[in-house]
Chain A
């Protein structure tokens, strides 16, 4: 295998790596945003549940959760956990939900109760105030944090290799096994991970910081 052939073989894993990262990011968003608002405005029992969820997923290594879902649920429940791609995305999404809940909660706290009171004074319901006043500001305030979260997911998508998903990391490892070249494949993978994470998360960080400053958030 020439270096170009090796690189091409590894590059073919990029779509899978990106698919896992992006899908789990949005699953994490769908979980994290509501959880953050439940944590901020929900009743006490719900707040405790959210807290427990965050603690579990932020304390247990995702590799443990992934193996548990894939081999544990996979062998007993079979579909959909028998599917390694699904399991990897699902588990990373659950973990990202816990992270994003914290990111959004910080943003909500920063925006403060005043915006809520002002919205309610116009006659908006609590839900309307959340949708039209709190969420837009929460997103802007959370953008830098969400950029880091995306980078984290791209990196952690490499754990999917343990359960056999043919993504970038797995492909680099295959090249190593076939060619016995122990340097180039990992070096190429490392470089590609930088390329996939750094520009976008840096852009989001800059955009969010500028927007926050512009709006005085």
Chain B
């Protein structure tokens, strides 16, 4: 059986009086693709950020290959370098070119030489088909191109898992395709991923398991076909109906 790469157990995140994530346990195995979906404001992003230790969970534990990250004294910078993260709003470094964006972590975190970092960064940009745009600044790129650089930035670090937080939802509809194509290729290569996505055709194609998330907890989980044919809970069924109607309209 494949090893679990990233896992959370009984994870809670509470902001003041708002419970964003309540008692969630979830693990992603080597080579597995899990898709998280659900209404906006349901706490998906918060869960993703807790798993990447970009936000400290209020309660519960996060494990990276069995190593507990929520214990005091853990070098979280090292752990974060092993977990790739792609943001909904992309968040490239504005003052750096596409190449500079991808090289920063290689140089400063993995301590590569300039030549080595550049070679690896160019390879990552090639993988997302952005090599010719290496010398452009984020403001000179389209949203889809920016997000592909965002994926290259995470990919270049050779992470053990990549977490993608709605990577296409801030893009114009005609630009989502180019990003989805890249993600499809990553999936084919067996990249371990946790993806928050409402691109249902894509989800159905790549997901090993889909997880319906609402009000800070896992409501229902199963293989994609389960959700497309016979979701058990009312909430999941209503949400699926709405999404499918919307997809048909688009």
Contacts and interface: CB of A to CB of B under 8 A. Distances in A.
A215 B94 contact: yes
Interface stretch (A26-34, A84-92, A133-141): A133-141
Nearest to A112: B91
A122 B91 contact: no
B80 A133 contact: no
A111, A120, A214: residue with the most chain B Cβ atoms closer than 10 Å: A120
A119 B157 CA distance: 13
A217 B92 CA distance: 12
A137 B80 contact: no
A130 to B, nearest CB: 12
A128 B89 CA distance: 22
B52 A121 contact: yes
Contacts of A119: 93, 104
Interface residues of A, number: 22
B52 A118 contact: no
Interface residues of B, number: 27
B245 interface: no
Nearest to A213: B139
Interface in B148-197: 153-154, 157
Interface in B120-150: 137-139
A122 B94 contact: no
Contact of A124 (B54, B91, B108): B108
B105 A122 contact: yes
Given A115-B93, A115-B94, A124 B77 contact: yes
Given A120-B54, A140-B95, A214 B109 contact: no
B125 to A, nearest CB: 16
A134 B13 CA distance: 28
Interface string A193-217: 0000000000000000000001111
A114 interface: yes
A139 B50 CA distance: 32
Given A122-B105, A123-B105, A128-B108, A133 B93 contact: yes
A48 interface: no
Contacts of B80: 120-123
A187 interface: no
B170 to A, nearest CB: 12
Contacts of A49: none
Interface string B62-99: 00000000000000011111110101010111110000
B139 to A, nearest CB: 3
A217 B85 CA distance: 23
A122 B104 contact: yes
Contacts of A179: none
Contact of A114 (B52, B77, B89, B137): B89
B94 A132 contact: no
A128 B105 CA distance: 10
Contact of B94 (A117, A125, A128, A217): A217
Nearest to A137: B95
B78 A118 contact: no
A137 B94 contact: yes
Nearest to B102: A122
Minimum-distance CB pairs A-B, first 3: A123-B81, A216-B139, A122-B105
Interface of A: 111, 114-115, 117-125, 128, 132-133, 136-137, 140, 214-217
Given A122-B105, A123-B79, A132-B108, 16 more contacts: A114-B89, A117-B91, A120-B54, A120-B77, A122-B104, A123-B80, A123-B81, A123-B82, A123-B105, A128-B108, A128-B109, A137-B94, A215-B95, A215-B137, A216-B94, A216-B137
